[in-house]
Amino acid sequence: MKLDILAFAAHPDDIELACSGTLIKHIKNGSKVGIIDLTEGELGSRGSRELRYEEAANATKIIGNIVRENLNLGDGFFEVEEKSMMKVIEMIRKYQPDIILCNAISDRHPDHGRGSELVKRAAFLSGLLKIETSIDGKSQEKWRPKQVFHYIQDEYIEPDFVIDISDEMEGKMKSILAYSSQFFNPESKEPQTPISSQEFMDFLDGRARQFGRTIGAKHGEGFTSSNPVSVKSLNDIL
């Protein structure tokens, strides 16, 4: 199955927090989208491995009709090394995306920066003929996406471009709250974490409003790019 956009995340819920509005927008416009979680988020203080899978499935339904897989690389301990890169390359060649979205280039959680570097390097190597991969015994063809963009997470990074998600903000927040074990839930008996308070939910709204304001919209999601973004004409960036 060829996809237009393939979004990678170090943990289940990274996508929902940082770029689910963008995915919802593109799905509504007819794009084929997929999500690859690098880990199961099993080291999180709240919830369980099984519950995280259930929550991710619920969030996926809210985002739209998309595929989602988990590479189970090991929360907190995966590295930018050959075995991990080969797993990512397999997913890139399987879904042949034109655009890849991945973690912030640096962030509070060290997995985010490592996940970013892992996917970026794998995206390049996926285009090399002499790197051989297969799935279910069938050899894969080389594939290199046209663009790799990094969404922005906890720490503020000046975006290279911002997507207007004013009409998708409600869906974004619903997808986040599908992770009921992780975020604000007044009935939860789980330990408190930096992301489990109402203040964190307010921060998410404020960040989206901050990005939106830069483009004259109510809400937005920001992205960075390691390479110049190609446009056919100035009209493409209006």
pLDDT at 190 over 90: no
Neighbours of 85 (CB within 10 A): 20
Please provide the average confidence, as pLDDT, over all residues in the chain. 95
Residue 50 DSSP code: H
- Choose among 120, 173, 126: nearest CA to 148: 120
The model's pTM is 0.95
Burial 43-79 (b: 16+ CB within 10 A, else e): ebebbeeebbbebbeebbebbbebebebbebebeebe
The C-alpha atoms of residue 109 and residue 100 are separated, in whole angstroms, by 21
For residue 189, the model assigns a pLDDT of 81
pLDDT band at 230 (very low <50, low <70, confident <90, very high): confident
- State whether residue 221 is helix, strand or coil: strand
pLDDT at 238 over 80: no
Task: State which amino acid sits at residue 23.
Answer: L
- What tens digit of pLDDT does each residue of 141-169 get? 999 999 999 999 999 999 999 999 999 99
CATH numbers and ranges of domains, the chain? 5-228 (3.40.50.10320)
pLDDT at 85 over 90: yes
Task: State which amino acid sits at residue 59.
Answer: A
